[in-house]
Structure 1
Amino acid sequence: MSSSTKSKTRKAAAAPQRFEGVTASSLAARLPAWLQSPELEVAIAETREHVRDLTDADTSELRALTKQRLRQEIDFIGNERFRSAREGKRIFSAELGLAERQTALGIAAIRRSGVDLPIHLGRLCEAPLLTPEQERLLFERMNYLLQQAAIHRSVLNPERPSRQRLELIELYVALADWHRDRIVEANLRLVFSIVKKFVNANNSFDELLSDGIIALIRGVEKFDFDRGFRFSTYATQVVRRNAYRTVVTRQQERQKVVGGLQDMDIDIGEEERTSAISETRWHELRSRLSVMLGDLDRREKFIIRARFSLGSHRRVHTLQSLADRLGVSKERVRQLERRAMDKLRAMAGTTDLAELEN
């Protein structure tokens, strides 16, 4: 075990009440032996606050918590070896030996991004890369913990709620999240290197980075560690595909708004018609269009959005489909659309859009 890991372990072991509120209940006597492994000391110390102490919870509260937990699926990547009663001891007796975070790694990631970023973002990239053995062990532990949580969840009964079982499920999930976060941290520099290639006038680095991190987390949760290849190979495809989809979707949304404004006879200038809209102008257009649509009545607003594929509408709806949904005739929908368009043209005439052409 590395000196840094030993130091963390000693600090965690020295802390009073190892499982905090959990130890105060009868749960402590029901904990499996592998869960009390020295290798889990640091993780348990850092996840205490995420495990509620249900000692004083009454029956009605426990029933509500049980129903809530039953509504929440626990997804994991299963493995044949998890069926063995000795698997927990094997996984958590192995040495993980994570290295300390390094400030230099974060600073280097910021410099390589080629983007003017606040220095605090570098803290996201201070975790060293994982060795193949560390990576596999983290994935094994995360999914094994989630599998154990799912097993206990499957026998929950709202009519006979179990305080100990609810606490144990929360502990398993919190520990699984801790292991997931270690994988995410070690791969954040990969996200930086991918999303910077998609940055342009319409897609800022910080927005793409946020989307990329979410994609990375989902990738960790869906990765099958037993297939024999490194997670970075899989994560590269996930993050790159997500960034490409984000850029394309935003471009399509811009084209929808610009096309809708043109169909309303709102002149937005030659530059906007070529779709070269800056981020500021784009948000201004959306904001002003949203204000104008807000002045329409409910049916008019729905018809305009559906006819021009705006907002949540991903395709252009026909007059007949809208008539069916609204329970009116096709001609009535046409009249409502014409009335709404006249209102928008009138509002556009009193709205100063000239500044968008600067």
Structure 2
Amino acid sequence: MATKLAPAPATATKKTAPQPGASKLRARRPAWLNMDELNDANHEADGMLVPLAAATSDELKSRTKRRLREEIDFISNPDFGDTDLGKKLFAEPLKLAPRKAELGIAAIRRSGIDMPIHLGRLCEAPLLTPEQEQMLFQRMNYLLQQAAVHRSLLNPSRPSRVRLELIDRLIALASWHRDRIVEANLRLVFSIVKKFVNPNNSFDDLLSDGIVALIRAVEKFDFDRGFRFSTYATQVIRRNSYRTVVLKQQERQKTVGGLQDMDLDLTDEGRESAISEKRWHELRSRLSVMLNDLDRREKFIIRARFSLGAHRKVHTLQSLANRLGVSKERVRQLERRAMDKLRAMAGDVNLAELETQ
């Protein structure tokens, strides 16, 4: 049985205009949605979708407005203007191979990383043939295009329960096809992110980010350009992993710099030993506790001056003075007072014990 992935909103760079005559499109389930090729996808959708038969008029209006606020993006294709495309697309069998446990076990062994065996279940889907890959991408984007067409016909003043249910089903069916592509390419994520693992970047974190990048790549891939998805996905996942590693390193450097400016004893040797994630998180935790003992303005100034927490850049004294409505000299005094408090608290906290753990 296929592993179900959490639905994610589609993202794309190309959209298509509604089909000619779309304003006359009836709010009813097209016959091709009942074709055998969609049995598995429809069965999964039945377990996810909530019928709207009992919804009140106000509830339908609310859902209509909410749906109109949510864009449905997809990769367009000239063939989508064919009114009989649905029948053609789902007439040809996809013939997906069943999942194999041995594929997951092999992926774990090849990774060379000590990880829970259950992660191998993510890699049990066989690779897709070029023809299967093409069909899945075309079907996924066609289903989203059909949902976008019906969305364009929604009217909050006269909400249509049937049309809302149809849009929900089309999106759910598109997600099913997207998930089959994602599952078949998860081994690619394993093979790429393992190369970025180091003491500061765990395999689990990189794998999670890599899967998100893979889903994003599926939603942006133009299936009609004539090359394999893995070529595009490899670049997306590798670039995402590199960015994750660099951003985490920059965050650590900023925090270490802030601790040094507070005269905490962090020698070069100490910083090397702080590579341990456990020690590093404990040190940051203690710093957070000390910051919480400052008053509101002092805490804000220290975080802004050393780019801690939500602050992504170092703020100048003048910019903080403008934010707080005080003089630049007053901000300097508050910063000095906060630093004195932190030094005193650092003296009470035995930071040296972190170096011996």
Same-fold status (TM-score > 0.5): yes
Aligned pairs (5 A) from 1:241-256: 241-256=239-254
- 1 CA distance for matches of 2:310 and 2:265? 24
Which structure 1 segments of 5+ residues have no match?
Answer: 6-27
- 1 CA distance for matches of 2:260 and 2:75? 49
User: Which amino acid in 2 is paired with 1:54?
Assistant: L
Structure 2 partner of 1:301: 299
- 2 CA distance for matches of 1:343 and 1:63? 56
- 2 CA distance for matches of 1:187 and 1:165? 34
Structure 2 partner of 1:30: 28
Over aligned residue pairs, what C-alpha RMSD do you find? 1.8
Q: 1:230 aligns with which of 203, 228, 231?
A: 228
* 1:268 pairs with 2:258: no
Aligned pairs (5 A) from 1:65-104: 65-104=63-102
Stretch deviating more after TM superposition (138-147 or 329-338): 329-338
User: Which amino acid in 1 is paired with 2:307?
Assistant: S
- 1 CA distance for matches of 2:164 and 2:296? 45
Q: Is the 8 A contact 2:140 2:173 kept in 1?
A: yes
User: Which amino acid in 1 is paired with 2:35?
Assistant: S
Post-superposition CA distance 1:153-188 (Å, at most 9, x none) = 122222221111111111011101100000000000
User: Which amino acid in 1 is paired with 2:140?
Assistant: M
Residue 276 of structure 1 and its aligned partner are, at CA, apart by 5.5
Stretch deviating more after TM superposition (188-197 or 44-53): 44-53
Residue 48 of structure 1 and its aligned partner are, at CA, apart by 1.0
Instruction: Go from structure 1 to structure 2 and tell me whether the alpha carbon gap of 1:29 and 1:83 turns closer, same or farther (over 3 Å shift).
Output: closer
* 1:44 pairs with 2:34: no
Q: Is the 8 A contact 1:269 1:357 kept in 2?
A: no
Structure 1 partner of 2:347: 349
- 2 CA distance for matches of 1:272 and 1:248? 21
Q: 1:218 aligns with which of 216, 220, 224?
A: 216
- 1 CA distance for matches of 2:27 and 2:214? 37
Post-superposition CA distance 1:245-300 (Å, at most 9, x none) = 11111111111111100100111343343586211112112211111112222222
- 2 CA distance for matches of 1:223 and 1:37? 26
Post-superposition CA distance 1:127-169 (Å, at most 9, x none) = 0000001001101111111111111112222222111111111
Structure 2 partner of 1:112: 110
SS at match of 1:30: coil
* 1:291 pairs with 2:289: yes
- 2 CA distance for matches of 1:205 and 1:174? 30
- 2 CA distance for matches of 1:44 and 1:170? 12
- 2 CA distance for matches of 1:312 and 1:32? 49
Which structure 2 segments of 5+ residues have no match?
Answer: 3-25
Instruction: Go from structure 1 to structure 2 and tell me whether the alpha carbon gap of 1:272 and 1:71 turns closer, same or farther (over 3 Å shift).
Output: farther
User: What TM-score comes out, normalization by structure 2 length?
Assistant: 0.89
User: Which amino acid in 1 is paired with 2:58?
Assistant: S
Structure 2 partner of 1:13: none
Structure 1 partner of 2:146: 148
- 1 CA distance for matches of 2:235 and 2:266? 38
Structure 1 partner of 2:7: none
User: Which amino acid in 1 is paired with 2:57?
Assistant: T
SS at match of 2:90: helix
- 2 CA distance for matches of 1:292 and 1:72? 43
- 2 CA distance for matches of 1:310 and 1:165? 48
Structure number having the greater helix percentage: 1
Q: 2:180 aligns with which of 166, 179, 182?
A: 182
Aligned pairs (5 A) from 1:165-176: 165-176=163-174
Q: Is the 8 A contact 1:271 1:277 kept in 2?
A: no
Q: Is the 8 A contact 1:74 1:150 kept in 2?
A: yes
Post-superposition CA distance 1:215-268 (Å, at most 9, x none) = 111111111111111010011111111111111111111111111001001113
Q: Is the 8 A contact 1:268 1:354 kept in 2?
A: no
